[in-house]
Amino acid sequence: MVELFIHTRAGLGELFAADAASRRGIMQQMYADGLVLCEPAGAATRIKQQHAEEALREGPGALAPATVESRRYALTDELDGLVDAADAVERLVVANVALSTADLLFDHRRAWTGSGKWLSRRLLQADPEHGGAQLVQADEDTGRDVIHRFNEFGLAWLDPQWAGALHMPGAT
């Protein structure tokens, strides 16, 4: 199967900018991994090397500090809610905790995010040693263990200055 993408340079720049703003890097990945079939004057190779591959290496820009604080608060709120989870349905919130943790990891590592199968791929790219651990903790029988494990290493793993579990915006 072959997919053909045809873009103007200006249009491609707009697509790259939109993907950078969404922190997903979809078009950058497609152009970096894609096979160039025809390229007059080497333009496609230059775009691939100078724009797509470089953008993937650099990763998205840093989130604003207020956004990071807000996401940290949301994550600790989710963890706090999980402590009191009374049944399996409530413990499914573990999946949201994993996604919230992944968002913070992606920002801390200046890594591209993803969804579906790309979430696991991007987590492993961002942190080959620990990235997959965020996805294998959703078993309902281990929900409370996840909280304890996360409190032991979670926030410190994202950034050593965050060691110490629950955090409210503006608190130090």
Give the contacts of 132 (CB within 8 A, at least 6 positions apart): 120, 123, 124
Following DSSP, what letter does each residue of 28-66 receive, concatenated? HHHHHHSPP---GGGHHHHHIIIIIIHHHHH-SPPPPHH
Most confident of 3-17, 126-140, 156-170: 3-17
pLDDT at 172 over 60: no
Is 106 within 8 Å of 125 (Cβ atoms)?
Answer: no
Name the least confident of 37-46, 95-104, 137-146, 157-166.
137-146
pLDDT at 67 over 50: yes
Q: How far apart are CA 103 and CA 98, in angstroms?
A: 9
The average pLDDT across 65-87 equals 83
Q: What is the pLDDT of residue 140?
A: 47
